[in-house]
Structure 1
């Protein structure tokens, strides 16, 4: 395979810088390094093709190299137009991985890259947001026959998969990596919490302390965003549709109210719901002058950009990744990173130590699907608990942390119904 001639990337001259970035994250991903050592010996993907669609930055690149070390022929594309890093793409091509991705392609190019990735006829898939799976189950069903299964990274992607499964249309098993303990407890909470504020602070260079932050959605990602906002000195308001999560936010010390009321108070807004039109025309109408809007959900539909454009008399880019909209009454609101994932489109995504656990889960889940695809049926399934615990144990060992173990007497006590 001549990956240089077969790939679509911006500039191969950028590869050196990409290699430096990948080398840096590798040094901080000990769990994935341990999985790589195992894969190099066992070659679980020998003779197979793997297609990956993820945010194409250094940590993702290292996951691709780990899968490649397991014997796979790997093809990768981006899962978001603004999160692809061109130097990473070039470095991967030099490492023998086929790449179809560039930073900020137009919608037609982005779609073409996804389709070209699928046209390699993969046996296994790692997806982020469900784009590859959706194309396979709709316009390119001719590419379905060879696929054994795969793994999905995000809440959004799992929702799409479960909709397919509910309609009886899912054609192969997919592991819901996002629902694993070692994913949502750490990646969604601590990873999103830190990386969202990394992206916002890097982009705006404004203080957070003393400001009011509105967090839309109090799932694990929302919990992390709210927690970090509080740590930066902000007053935090949470909006929710789930009464249980709303009570949880209240008990965690945050104000809870509907978005229409919260919109009057917010200096910063962060949407993390996975749904559309969370902030729209009725909310823009009551916002403060200078409100800053951002999204950390997968698709750029949580902040309604159609409404915002319709209500604005003018707009302009005032700083990299910041667009200013002037409303009819002269108020200005600012949208970060085109309403796309602010932590990736305007930052470098989650810390390497966090993605170490998530991508270790991706790697071992893919190996599990490859071993069991004939037995597990065409369904969305959870990461096996023993794999979740294995990744956590590897993390503890990397941190030189020991924990207690049950004695035989304690095990017997827990398994008995008598005292």
Structure 2
């Protein structure tokens, strides 16, 4: 079994020079507060930049972010092990209205870190900050981003699922990426430089599973969760993630019977889920993982599954095609910042809008079938709507 996130080095090069440099050695935390100029620029950009691709379902979507602290766990990536585990979480959910202020997609500081430019801070999101949640009990989807990536890299997917009627919680796994907290403090990627250690994948998968389970605890706590007025149905919960986030999602389901289904978007599996307790699993790969070793990793994951299982593949895609990075680079005209080889390994030959459409459609169908009991013929046979998608199994 591969011990490093597949296609990680080339794929992460597309994100930022800072991250690539961090891979050569441990990254220190960066502290400070956003400058007034940067904050003003972000506010101005929020009304002028390219939009996040609109959800395919026309329904109001609300959003909010929360800073959560788990006092029961010490920070796993800090050598002294003294600080409590801190997380930032973005929520998307069905809302009553579509009018109101919208949050920035990324701050200028994080835009520089992840994309080498402040341009992504100009992207306009669709969700409304603090919008009143729609009434009813909503199924919940926990989202985990790829290694070194922000929770905002799943914004287009999160907004889509919220428009479909799901409550969505996307988690930043602190010190596996750069995270900005409400006071402006930016915590760095302390795990960077350790990802080639033999137990890194297993360790990170367990940390991510613990993060997701803690967020689930907070959302379903008596008296209400972090989003006022939002009610989730604790009997209908799924976890989904991109890359290492997919591995963490499978591990969270393996550990926690509250999680009824899990989806892995092009992530190497470090802790096999076994039969997954008979629960549904979706595997969605890019070019079968990009290597024979990656394909074998998923074959080993696939074979023991005893419940509903689906393995679909997007042959023309790259490892980052399941995240916002693909359409962000396309729509903001950032391709000239990277080499042709970097672009090929990160995005393949697929167009960002098509990769996003396929990701939304197949993950949405999987969740609709297994959390809501709805028909989802897309999962049963090739579709003329997505001729580029094939069934690997």
Name the TM tier (shorter chain). 0.3 to 0.5
Greater share of helix? 1
Larger radius of gyration: 1
| TM-score normalized by the length of structure 1 | 0.37
Q: State the TM-score, normalized to the length of structure 2.
A: 0.39
